[in-house]
Amino acid sequence: MIKILLLSGPNLDELGTRNPTVYGTLTLDDHVQRVRALAGKQGWELTHLQSNFEGVLIEQVHGARGVFDAIIINAGALTHSSWSLHDALDNFAGPIVEVHLSNPAGRESFRHTSTLAPVVSGTIAGFGALSYDLAVVALVDLVGERSHTGESPNA
């Protein structure tokens, strides 16, 4: 069974009430349930963790090696500042999809740079809740590519 780790960074526990014109009205739990259902349709297992603390997210990435096949991450504002999270993700062998509900490139200039972009398989941004759906669709292909090349999905 393919195991996916969904990581949610700082302030994402405030979704639904935090700036709904930018992030929408769905709660984090709404998003997690949606991703879990989509992953389940693939026969996959999804584990979710949200933390407002960078170190907790880094430790989760460390612990994911050899346990999870892929990671979906919405690191929130850590996307633009966390070289430590970048380094942790760089040491994960499976596919990683970075997700954003809003379009960071269309917002404040400090949001235009992702420290994670160099070490993720791809970034999906600006499609609201659909961003998470597209991450699962991307992983279907990315995990499938690994299994067709004979590489273990969680190698």
Active-site annotation, residues: 23, 100
CA contacts within 13 A on the Cβ side of 29: 1
β-strand partners of 3: 45
Contacts of 79 (CB under 8 A, 6+ apart): 9, 98, 100, 104, 111, 114, 115, 116
Alpha carbon of 68 to those of 2, 93, 132, 145: distances in Å? 7, 10, 18, 16
- Rounded Cα distance, 95 and 125, in Å: 17
